[in-house]
Amino acid sequence: MFILKHKSLITAIGGILIVSAFIIKWTTGDETLFAWLMATASVSGVLPIAIQAYQALRVKVVSIDVLVTMAVIGAFVIRNFEESAIVTFLFLFGAYLEQRTLSKTRSAIKELTEMAPESALKQMDDGDFVEVDVDEVDVGDILLVKTGAKVPVDGTVISGEGSVNESAVTGESIPVAKEKGSKVFAGTILDNGTIQIVAERVGEDTTYGKIIELVEEAQDSKSAAERFIDRFSKYYTPTVLVLALTIWLIRRDIELAITILVLGCPGALVIGVPVSNVAGIGNGARNGVLLKGSEVIRELSRLDTIVFDKTGTLTAGKPSVAEKLYYGSYTSEALEYLASVERESDHPLAKAVLDEIGERAVYPVEGTEVIKGEGIIAYVRGRRVVVGNIALMEREQVLLNDAVRADATRLEGNGNSLVFTAVDGELMILMGIRDQIRPGVKEGLSRLRKLGIKNLIMLSGDNQGTVDIVSRELGLTEAHGNMLPEDKSAYIKKLIDEGRIVAFVGDGVNDSPSLALANIGIAMGGGTDVAIETSDVVLMNSDFGRLPHALGLAKATTRNMMQNIVIAVGVVLMLMAGLIFSEWVNMSIGMLVHEGSILAVILNGMRLLRYRLR
Domain-wise residue ranges, the chain: 119-152+154-201, 291-316+438-548, 318-436
Task: Name 493's Cβ contacts closer than 8 Å, sequence gap at least 6.
Answer: 517
Secondary structure percentages of the chain, helix, strand, coil, to 5: 55, 20, 25
Tally of CB atoms within 10 A around 177 = 10
Choose between 344 and 270: higher pLDDT: 344
Q: Three-state DSSP class for 309?
A: strand
What's the confidence (pLDDT) of residue 224? Answer: 58
Look at the chain and count its residues: 614
What's the confidence (pLDDT) of residue 218? Answer: 46
Say if domain 291-316+438-548 classifies as CATH 3.40.50.1000. yes
Q: Three-state DSSP class for 164?
A: strand
* Average pLDDT value over all residues in the chain: 80
Mean pLDDT, residues 82-101: 70
Lowest mean pLDDT among 80-94, 345-359, 450-464: 80-94
Phi, then psi, of 201 in degrees rounded to 5: -140, 135
Q: Look at residue 103 and tell me whether its pLDDT is greater than 70.
A: no
What is the C-alpha to C-alpha distance for residues 495 and 457, in angstroms, rounded to an integer?
A: 11
pLDDT tens digit sequence for 361-393: 889 999 888 887 788 999 999 999 999 888 899
Q: Which residues are annotated as catalytic?
A: 309
What is the C-alpha to C-alpha distance for residues 254 and 209, in angstroms, rounded to an integer?
A: 56
What's the confidence (pLDDT) of residue 386? Answer: 93
What is the radius of gyration, based on Cα positions, of the chain? 34
Highest mean pLDDT among 333-342, 413-422, 460-469: 333-342
pLDDT-based confidence at residue 266 (cuts at 50, 70, 90) = low
What's the confidence (pLDDT) of residue 113? Answer: 59
Choose between 540 and 426: higher pLDDT: 426
What's the confidence (pLDDT) of residue 214? Answer: 56
Percent of the chain with pLDDT strictly greater than 70? 83
Mean pLDDT, residues 141-170: 84
DSSP element (H, E) containing 325: strand 315-326
pLDDT-based confidence at residue 613 (cuts at 50, 70, 90) = confident
What's the confidence (pLDDT) of residue 171? Answer: 46
- What CATH number is given for 119-152+154-201 in this structure? 2.70.150.10
Mean pLDDT, residues 588-607: 79
Please determine whether the domains at 119-152+154-201 and 318-436 fall in the same fold group of CATH: no
pLDDT tens digit sequence for 472-511: 889 999 999 878 777 888 898 899 999 999 999 887 555 6
Q: Look at residue 160 and tell me whether its pLDDT is greater than 60.
A: yes
Report which of 191, 112, 204, 110 is spatially closest to residue 153, judged by C-alpha positions: 204
- What CATH number is given for 318-436 in this structure? 3.40.1110.10
